[in-house]
Structure 1
Amino acid sequence: MKTEHEDVTPGISRRTLLTRAGVAAAALAAGPVLGGTQPAHAASWRVPGEEASHKRTWMAWPSSSTIWGSLLPAIQADIAKLAKEVAKYEPVVMCADGSTAASQATNACGSTVTVIGSVPVSDCWMRDTGPLFRVDGAGGLDAFGLNFNAWGENATSFYGIPASAYDKDRAVAQNLAAYAGVPFAQAAVVGEGGGIEYDGDGTLMATESCWVNGNRNPGKSRSQIEAELLSRFGASKMIWLPGVTGYDVTDGHIDGTARYIGPGVVMVQLAGAVRPDVWTRNAQAIHDVLVNSTDARGRRLEVLTIEGPDTLPRIPAGRQKDFLSSYMNWTVTNQAVITTQFGDTAKDAAAKTAIAAAYGRTVVQLNLDNLYGNGGGGAHCVTMQEPNR
């Protein structure tokens, strides 16, 4: 299946929606069920904020020509580049689909990245397919999965990629948890890790367009979905945000627009000149909700802002509207925040300065144009942190 602006076969862009009859323009969407074995006193378990100390970062090596076609080598190059950078700050374990893919990943990533071939993967989107790890404050660690279903089967309905192409990714969460030796349970909702943000201190934020959606949670109300997510994350308050439907395969994941810096502090990217109006309006709508929100502790949120790039000098004009020009899709490591740069010198520098000031950590900006452009995802989308106990 060809993407909208590239004469390649086949290849999924997670952000580009092929024109289809009947698809509307964007819409701005204005007791928990546990569903698995849980440790005693489950309320004490929580998913720590991403800025907390990590044991390691998990990633996945893309090797499917069914999914990527001729784009595969370029995507692999960006994954290897990112993995080697993360490995400067904390251990990285790369899951590869069998011995051949593992050998390929080892050659590309080098000796600083641990590659394993015993956790089968379909693709590279570990944030969406992998387990979310929880701690209990007493040395315990467990994990849960969000029942990945290829973004509501959008990969198939948008691009014609067979649903079976993602079969291994549907089981990554439990397989990885088993490899790591931690207890695991499936949540009673369907979604992706990139579709929810958590501060580790009781508050979640997510877009309704991802979760209150018949392609993931048919028949479930917002309150039912909220109760399950709060229970799983060990949180007590959800901030629901507007989202965009019908413009990208994720249905508007939050991690490209708004992120927690830490408890009580969020950052929002207000779209730069290259983003289509629908994303500009959505970013502003998310900002406006957050500035009027309080968290689980009753704190008024401190909302920091940055602006997206105004130019994409390396990207052909015909592809720019579908390019994920988000600085927000960073990955946090123990000593650094790794994000991207787009070639807009002034905006790249301003984003780097703002993120560094917010975190008090080194910020590394990489050129990941293939991953952000052809893949439509970024550094956050392809990493999953495992916290220290």
Structure 2
Amino acid sequence: MKTGPKGPSSGILCGVDFNFNGWGNKFRTETSVGLGTETCVGLARTLLKDLKIERIESSLVTEGGAIEVDGEGTMVATESSIINDNRNPGMSREDIEAEFARTLGIEKFIWIPGVHGVEVTDCHIDAFVRFARPGVVLLSKPSSEESRNANSVWVRAYKEAVDVLSGTKDAKGRSLEVIEISEPNVSEVAMDEEFLKAIASSELPPPAFNYANYLMVNGGLIFPQFGDKRSDAAALKTVQRLFGSERDVVTVPLQELPLMGGGIHCATQQIPLSISVSP
């Protein structure tokens, strides 16, 4: 969503109709592009019409979880989930940035390398780096168990993210404050023994056990708890410190959804308020 057809300061709520192709053609879905029928690609158009929200077409293939913005012109995303031929073949970084600038009013892009091909999303940003507020980001840090794996792609991705975030400024020229939240240890998560065995044997995709995939709602924040008591408590304390004065932090137990590769934010789509933003 953006607030304005000609620029994000117009105060008119619009919806950007990005394209979807099953996370880089990994899955065939009825809403994927390229299936040959108008109804297959008309979900966003239909929803926007029903909600009486102006539609903006886009040539980009992307997903909501791939985009994180601060509301003041800055976007953070992973290269692996957007600048990727499985979604946007033939488009350069400059092409993609120009389209996001046109549709979302983005002025500053912060690209983190991410991870290709290990899980379905190619490392969505909404389970990795989130804006707590302009100038402040939460960074998901691999668990102590994962960090002991010298060959972990997630540890490598985390270190790359630290390097990028610590060395950049946002659209307003601010250096970013980076606050890390350690992920829970899988061995401590409240799960059936069968699930633990399936994860250990790679019968399931890497589970999305992280605290970054929370959901902001009006006056509140819905926050996951996984059953690792120490990690749950530490993460909750961090977000309460960050959001407690302005949002009620409500926790929910979450076990099954991460096993399918997602979390609270993945399963939702917020509609922002229509507000004017001063340039």
TM-score normalised by structure 1 residue count: 0.61
Which residue does the alignment assign to 1:358?
Answer: 242
Partner Cα separation in structure 2 for residue 320 and residue 346 of structure 1 = 22
CA contact (8 A) 1:307 1:347 kept: yes
Which residue does the alignment assign to 1:32?
Answer: none
Secondary structure of the structure 1 residue equivalent to 2:71: coil
1:163-242 pair list within 5 angstroms: 163-164=29-30, 170-242=41-113
Which residue does the alignment assign to 1:273?
Answer: 144
Question: Percent identity, aligned pairs only?
Answer: 38
CA contact (8 A) 1:209 1:243 kept: yes
Secondary structure of the structure 1 residue equivalent to 2:59: coil
Distance 1:239 1:315, change over 3 A: farther
Partner Cα separation in structure 2 for residue 308 and residue 143 of structure 1 = 33
Secondary structure of the structure 1 residue equivalent to 2:140: strand
Instruction: Compute the displacement of 1:388 (Å).
Output: 2.1
Which blocks of at least 5 consecutive residues in structure 1 are unaligned? Answer: 1-37, 47-135, 156-161
CA contact (8 A) 1:274 1:312 kept: no
Larger RCO (alpha carbons 8 Å, 6+ apart): 1
Letter matched to residue 259 of structure 1: R
Matched, 1:148 2:25: no
Instruction: Compute the displacement of 1:170 (Å).
Output: 3.8
Partner Cα separation in structure 2 for residue 384 and residue 164 of structure 1 = 18
Residue from 318, 321, 325 that aligns with 2:197: 318
Distance 1:176 1:279, change over 3 A: same
Letter matched to residue 177 of structure 2: E
Instruction: Compute the displacement of 1:236 (Å).
Output: 0.6
Letter matched to residue 368 of structure 1: L
Aligned residue pair count = 251
Which residue does the alignment assign to 1:301?
Answer: 176
Which blocks of at least 5 consecutive residues in structure 2 are unaligned? Answer: 201-205, 275-279
TM-score normalised by structure 2 residue count: 0.84
Distance 1:344 1:387, change over 3 A: same
Which residue does the alignment assign to 2:231?
Answer: 347
1:254-293 pair list within 5 angstroms: 254-275=125-146, 277-293=152-168
Partner Cα separation in structure 2 for residue 286 and residue 335 of structure 1 = 29
Which residue does the alignment assign to 1:108?
Answer: none
Partner Cα separation in structure 2 for residue 365 and residue 343 of structure 1 = 12
Partner Cα separation in structure 1 for residue 145 and residue 189 of structure 2 = 8
Partner Cα separation in structure 2 for residue 355 and residue 169 of structure 1 = 39
Which residue does the alignment assign to 1:15?
Answer: none
Deviations 1:196-242 (A, max 9, x none): 11000010011111111111111110111011112211121100111
Partner Cα separation in structure 1 for residue 198 and residue 13 of structure 2 = 43
Deviations 1:172-196 (A, max 9, x none): 2211111100110221211111011
